[in-house]
């Protein structure tokens, strides 16, 4: 299979973890006889430095024309005092909005080898298997006006949604729940916000179309508490943009590290942007110690969901599991008696597991 993949490494640890994903994908391409063609483009702070804007036109064009997009992370202290239009994060928001990537899927599944790495008790995290479906192109992030007034003495941000924007993400929530354990938790703040009351009405309307799915409404503050006291009580969560951003970082604690979580941002026709949920981690950038697994798992997410390469995606995920089972971990993961490794070493271990796996598959094949 021949695929054009747009690589947007970004800032901070972005390029370090992107290198890992690229190397692993190259091994997959060789072993499974695919042709992955990588096209690297600028986004975020490095694009501001080179082009004066965080999302150059050519990056957007390449992203639209390719088969899928892989993104590292954007942002960092260097650009914090730039005007809003030159903030790295604006590049990320603009690519999501311009490409219409309205549905952000954030799976949170405990990897058994990491059961002790979470600061939460083993019995609490044990059965965790959640998908957060986060609305990605509306809400407070994009509402107008968003500005300072009265010489900086008052400020307004606007939370606005059109009905169709709520309908399509809620529908995605139901479809996802239907393909899983058929339990949908809709998270809102309907006791305070009008937008949440409209959201809840739409969830109730859509529920009639999905009688097999059990629907539960949970207020966002209570959901934040339940996520870490009883994560196993969740299956699929659907929520608006900002709530989903906050809850997914919180949920990463279940897996032992923010560095573990992948995500997919998709639209109706299947175009997808795949990225770890974490940021550019300026505190560890350049040290070669970042956890590359959230990025590698984002690449396997791309293989499965954008390219339909189920076997290859499984092989990558299996290789990640094996690396962790053997006790290898980067510094962000609190693994007792394991082997502390760098980003590069972790990548090599994953590649080693992949290669060993295909050799053993060959042997099995030869003897069948
Ligand atoms: N998708 C994105 O590009 C994205 C997401 C979140 C934050 N950001 C940006 O990143 C910058 C830093 O934000 P922040 O510090 O609040 O969040 P962050 O996610 O970058 O880091 C939070 C903490 O988690 C650690 N961490 C994150 N990813 C890790 C990994 N792969 N391996 C090991 N440790 C990891 C960091 O070292 C840090 O201590 C900001 O400019 C922010 O806007 C970008
Ligand atoms: C960097 C920022 C704009 C982004 C968001 O809030 O969506 C990030 O936190 C994320 O989760 O992808
Ligand atoms: Mg976030």
Q: What is the CATH number of the domain that holds 91?
A: 3.40.718.10
Residue 290 annotated as part of some ligand binding site: yes
Closest ligand 2 atom to residue 245 Cα is 11
Please tell me whether residues 135 and 235 are part of one structural domain.
yes
Tens-place pLDDT, residues 104-132: 999 999 999 999 999 999 999 999 999 99
Of the candidates 189, 206, 235, 332, the residue annotated as catalytic is: 189
CA distances from residue 6 to 51, 272, 289, 304 in whole angstroms, order as listed: 18, 11, 25, 16
Q: Residue 22 CB: number of other CB atoms within 10 A?
A: 20
**Inside any domain, residue 226:** yes
% the chain with pLDDT above 70:
97
Tens-place pLDDT, residues 2-54: 999 999 999 999 999 999 999 999 999 999 999 999 999 999 999 999 999 99
d(CA 321, CA 199): 38
User: Which of 222, 255, 288 is the C-terminal boundary of a domain?
Assistant: 255
Q: Tell me which residue has tokens 């909005």.
A: 97
Q: What angle do CA 146, 149, 154 make, to 5 degrees?
A: 90
Which ligand lies nearest the alpha carbon of 106?
A: 2
Please tell me whether residues 244 and 280 are part of one structural domain.
no
- Is residue 364 scored above 50 in pLDDT? no
pTM of the model: 0.96
**245 tagged catalytic:** yes
**Inside any domain, residue 113:** no
When pLDDT is averaged across residues 332-339 and rounded to a whole number, the result is 95
**Inside any domain, residue 222:** yes
Residue 367 binned pLDDT confidence (cut-offs 50, 70, 90): very low
Tens-place pLDDT, residues 80-110: 999 999 999 999 999 999 999 999 999 999 9
User: Which of 255, 283, 305 is the C-terminal boundary of a domain?
Assistant: 255
Q: According to the model, what pLDDT value does residue 12 have?
A: 98
> Contact 106/275 with Cβ under 8 angstroms?
no
Q: Distance from first CA to last CA of the chain, Å, rounded?
A: 26
C-beta of 92 in contact with ligand 2 (< 6 A)? yes
Please tell me whether residues 131 and 249 are part of one structural domain.
yes
Please tell me whether residues 122 and 90 are part of one structural domain.
no
Q: According to the model, what pLDDT value does residue 83 have?
A: 95
C-beta of 332 in contact with ligand 1 (< 6 A)? yes
Locate all alpha helices (DSSP H) within the chain, ordered by sequence.
Answer: 14-32, 45-51, 57-65, 88-99, 122-125, 163-178, 194-207, 220-229, 241-255, 293-305, 310-325, 343-367
Please tell me whether residues 248 and 343 are part of one structural domain.
no
Q: According to the model, what pLDDT value does residue 361 have?
A: 57
C-beta of 16 in contact with ligand 2 (< 6 A)? no
Q: According to the model, what pLDDT value does residue 21 have?
A: 98
The count of structural domains within the chain is 2
Residue nearest to atom 3 of ligand 2 (CA): 89
User: Which of 217, 237, 255 is the C-terminal boundary of a domain?
Assistant: 255
Higher pLDDT, 361 or 353: 353
Please tell me whether residues 127 and 222 are part of one structural domain.
yes
Pocket-testing residue among 86, 261, 280, 291, ligand 1, by greatest number of atoms within 8 A of Cβ: 280
Tens-place pLDDT, residues 218-247: 999 999 999 999 999 999 999 999 999 999
Residue nearest to atom 1 of ligand 2 (CA): 89
Residue nearest to atom 10 of ligand 2 (CA): 277
**249 tagged catalytic:** yes
- Is residue 307 scored above 80 in pLDDT? yes
* Structural domain for 141, as ranges: 118-255
When pLDDT is averaged across residues 235-262 and rounded to a whole number, the result is 98
**348 tagged catalytic:** no
Q: Which of 361, 362, 368 is nearest to 314 (CA)?
A: 361
């Amino acid at each position: 299979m021949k695929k054009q993949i747009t690589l947007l490494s970004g800032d901070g640890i972005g390029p370090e973890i992107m290198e890992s994903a690229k190397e692993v994908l190259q091994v997959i391409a060789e072993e499974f006889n695919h042709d992955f063609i990588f096209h690297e483009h600028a986004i975020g702070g490095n694009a501001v430095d080179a082009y004066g804007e965080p999302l150059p036109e050519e990056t957007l064009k390449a992203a639209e024309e390719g088969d899928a997009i892989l993104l590292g992370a954007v942002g960092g202290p260097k650009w914090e005092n730039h005007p809003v239009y030159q903030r790295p994060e604006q590049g990320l928001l603009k690519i999501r909005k311009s490409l219409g990537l309205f549905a952000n899927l954030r799976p949170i599944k405990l990897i058994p080898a990491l059961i002790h790495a979470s600061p939460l008790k083993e019995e609490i995290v044990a059965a965790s298997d959640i998908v957060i479906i986060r609305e990605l192109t509306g809400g407070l992030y994009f509402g107008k006006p968003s500005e300072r007034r009265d010489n900086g003495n008052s400020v307004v941000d606007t939370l606005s949604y059109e009905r169709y924007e709520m309908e399509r993400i809620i529908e995605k929530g139901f479809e996802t729940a239907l393909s899983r354990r058929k339990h949908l938790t809709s998270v809102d703040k309907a006791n305070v916000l009008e937008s949440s009351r409209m959201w809840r009405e739409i969830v109730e309307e859509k529920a009639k179309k999905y009688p097999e799915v059990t629907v539960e409404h949970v207020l966002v503050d209570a959901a934040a508490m339940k996520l870490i006291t009883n994560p196993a009580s969740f299956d699929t969560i659907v929520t608006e943009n900002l709530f989903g951003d906050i809850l997914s970082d919180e949920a990463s604690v279940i897996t032992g590290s923010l560095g573990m979580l992948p995500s997919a941002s998709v639209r109706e026709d299947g175009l997808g942007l795949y990225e770890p949920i974490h940021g550019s981690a300026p505190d560890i950038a350049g040290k070669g110690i970042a956890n590359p697994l959230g990025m590698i798992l984002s690449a396997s997410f791309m293989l499965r969901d954008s390219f339909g390469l189920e076997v290859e995606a499984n092989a990558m995920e299996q290789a990640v599991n094996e690396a962790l089972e053997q006790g290898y971990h980067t510094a962000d993961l609190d693994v007792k008696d394991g082997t502390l490794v760098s980003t590069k070493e972790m990548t090599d271990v994953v590649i080693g597991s992949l290669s060993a796996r295909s050799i053993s598959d060959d042997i099995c094949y030869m003897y069948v």
